[in-house]
Amino acid sequence: MDSAKGSQAQCESLHTDIESFFQTAPPLKDHFDTSRKLREFIQQNSPTTGNGIGRRIVCVTSGGTTVPLEQRCVRYIDNFSSGHRGAASTEYFLKAGYAVIFLHRRGTCQPYCRSLPEDSLLECLELKEGESSIQVRESYSEDVKGAIRHNHEAIKEGILLKLPFTSIFEYLQILRMVATSMNSLGPYGMFYLAAAVSDFYVPWETMAEHKIQSASGPLDMRLAQVPKMLIMMRKEWAPVAFCISFKLETDTNILLEKADMALKKYKMNMVVANELSTRKEEVIVVANSGRITVRRDKTNSDVENPLIKLIVDRHSTYIEESAKN
């Protein structure tokens, strides 16, 4: 077969898959509200509107998506992710002067809250001795103050917009909305796709309406592949944005090979390759110009610190080069 024709056929089939995904997905509950918040946020921060106070804008995705197995959702498949990477990266992007759209899984780690314990409200607060008022426990005092101050400042300044998702259907619908809105930013927009997105799903219309019964024998399930949305991101949603995807594997042997593949196939500007067991210590950034290993500085707490520095630097170069063309 003619290879150009083959590739065109593949592309059309992807288009059909993606359209069918969105058409059959349950509609977003707060579509209108999210869309309004997003528009205002981008308008307010955009460096291209010419009011001279603009910032670059990055959409950081964070946490795992769920795949419902039943329409009235009792069971679902979840991709594990604490959201630590996304939360940390958001802090460093804000520090570097970016405005951040934090597209995160509900309940996962929030920016500036990484050092707080689980059940943080019950753990961090106590009753004052013999009184009815509340105070922050001494040992958590600085962490709690820092979290509240930084978070509220960022929200108040209008440089941090938090958008939550749970299912793969919510995630991809919001991501499309963000991407098409950010398209107006041209090269000033960035996508930092750290969320752990399901590769497989059960198409909504083929899904069992009721809870799957366990009456007898094992359960056999067939999951379809989630269509590759990154291709859409590059082709239609926001073709000029600076785009970084993540590759997480538990098997080091196939990690870099898969990262290289993703770089080419999805035309990413960078792919951050990380291995599950060492991901907090080091990552390998794969780009067309080569591979760079980024390690956590031992005097410094996060691998995200040097990682975001490197990315911001590359983004600057990308913006300069775009201006020349």
Query: Closer to a second copy at the Cβ: 39 or 137?
Result: 137
Smallest gap from Cβ 197 to a second copy, in A, equals 11
Smallest gap from Cβ 199 to a second copy, in A, equals 4
Query: Closer to a second copy at the Cβ: 23 or 250?
Result: 250
Smallest gap from Cβ 155 to a second copy, in A, equals 9
Q: State whether residue 293 is helix, strand or coil.
A: strand
Query: Closer to a second copy at the Cβ: 11 or 155?
Result: 155
Query: Closer to a second copy at the Cβ: 42 or 255?
Result: 255
Smallest gap from Cβ 269 to a second copy, in A, equals 23
Interface contacts to a second copy, rule CB under 8 A: 66, 69-70, 72-80, 106-107, 110, 113, 116, 118-122, 124-127, 132-134, 136, 144-145, 147-149, 151-152, 196, 198-200, 209-211, 214, 217-225, 248-251, 276-277
Tokens (6 digits) for 148: 């509240």
Q: Where do we find the tokens 């500036």? A: 112
In contact, 246 and 218? CB cutoff 8 Å: no
In contact, 242 and 318? CB cutoff 8 Å: yes
Element (H, E) at 296: none
In contact, 29 and 62? CB cutoff 8 Å: no
Q: Give the number of residues written for the chain.
A: 325
Smallest gap from Cβ 309 to a second copy, in A, equals 27
Dist CA 28 CA 311 (whole Å): 32
Query: Closer to a second copy at the Cβ: 2 or 209?
Result: 209
Q: How far from chain centre, in Å, is Cα 295?
A: 21
Query: Closer to a second copy at the Cβ: 20 or 43?
Result: 20
Burial of 222 (0-12, 13-18, 19+ CB in 10 A): exposed
Smallest gap from Cβ 303 to a second copy, in A, equals 19
Dist CA 305 CA 93 (whole Å): 9
